[in-house]
Amino acid sequence: MNSERLTIADVERLLSNPSEDTRAAVAEKVASQFSDVELAPRERELAHEILGFLVHDVAVSVREALSRCLTGNEAAPRNIVLQLARDIDQVAIPVLERSPVLTDEDLVGLVYYGSPAKQCAIAGRPEVGAPVSEAIAHRGDRSAVLTLVHNSGAVINEAAATMLVKRYADDADVAAPLVQRGELPALLVERLIAMVSEQMREYLVAQHEVDGRVAASLEEQARERTTTDAITRMSNDDLRALVAQLAENGRLTATLILRAACAGEVRFVEAAFAELTAVPDERLWRLIHDVGALGFRAVYARAGMPEALYPAFRRVLDTYHAVRSSDGTLDVALFRFHVLEGLRETFEQVDAEDLDTMIDKLARLAVVPQGAKKQSVA
């Protein structure tokens, strides 16, 4: 028989010597028993009765012992766990962090009426359902919100993300990790990226006395890099929605398209040129991937892209076709290595140690002359 099993002697000891240490020891032993499948019905009933008595114990150490021992127990009585979850932070946090018997409904209520420490414990659980994330987004303390947006096990749906943006419109610490989450809708991602980068520009100007034009350039570079990172996790539908939003906001720039191309995201290149040229998808695909020079040249001109960057686009697309395997897969690291080498050959005057820096420097060539007109595709 398990030596840790509650015995009649334990019950007698609890009655004859009801000290705090005795009660805590019995609490640990009883709590640990609930995962024991060998417990007889009467034993389990007795254990439940003792837990019901100890969960109201005046000594915090006794209730702490219960909470600690019931934390990961799937067989723990839900009413006991709920009572512990509503207790003071010191007692509640262990079960709030990990107890599997608490439902989303339980957790939502605990978020709405719990302390910031309790909210943080819930936000950091291994899995956080969408209803709980929404509750934290609506009522959570900032510390709980930060825990939530950094928790890869949390489901943050559009409703929760929209509320977070509304509540923390000026807080880049909240917005930045949200941008990195793959489940957010494209339009919200673009708004978040703009929010983060604009705050960076304001900080540079205010704190470091950076010239406004330089700060704006750095802002755009940061926004484009973050957007490119987000693109790699998007579905085709979300990607097209993002392209449309970027075009509407005047942010579908040549350098952003080039950054996406250099990341191997030719999907974005195709969607961007489709948006800018209104050429039907199938025809556009043939023109972009034409092994000759004329097809993409015509699309590029129609889109009104800066002539100075055409050689960069041409080099990237040629490298893409050369590196991509026959089954359509792409080794992105190898691709980016060859792209950087190719751009160094094409733009010998540009000194750059990495691909992002190369694009930052090429951006200076990307100014479209005033009055430039889009051309037709023959």
How do residues 55-74 score in pLDDT, each as one tens digit?
888 889 889 988 988 888 88
Neighbours of 277 (CB within 10 A): 22
Question: Closest Cα partner for 84 from 69, 1, 279?
Answer: 69
**What's the whole-number mean pLDDT along residues 225-242?**
84
The whole-number pLDDT of residue 204 equals: 47
| Cβ(160)–Cβ(134) below 8 Å | yes
**Distance between CA atoms of residues 356 and 332, nearest Å:** 14
Neighbours of 323 (CB within 10 A): 17
Give the range among 28-42, 88-102, 353-367 with minimum mean pLDDT. 28-42
Whether 259 shows a pLDDT value over 70: the answer reads: yes
Q: Where are the domains of the chain?
A: 1-102, 253-378
Give the range among 222-236, 252-266, 298-312 with minimum mean pLDDT. 222-236
**Distance between CA atoms of residues 4 and 36, nearest Å:** 11
**Distance between CA atoms of residues 75 and 81, nearest Å:** 11
Give the range among 171-185, 190-204, 235-249, 287-301 with minimum mean pLDDT. 190-204
Whether 3 shows a pLDDT value over 50: the answer reads: no
- Average predicted confidence (pLDDT) for the chain: 82
The whole-number pLDDT of residue 156 equals: 92
With cut-offs at 50, 70 and 90, classify the pLDDT of residue 109.
very high
Q: Tokens in use for 33?
A: 């028993």
DSSP for 108-132 reads HHHHHHS-HHHHHHHHTSS-B-HHH
Neighbours of 300 (CB within 10 A): 24
**What's the whole-number mean pLDDT along residues 341-346?**
93
Q: What is the CA radius of gyration of the chain?
A: 30
**Distance between CA atoms of residues 320 and 341, nearest Å:** 13
**What letter represents residue 346's amino acid?**
T
The whole-number pLDDT of residue 17 equals: 53
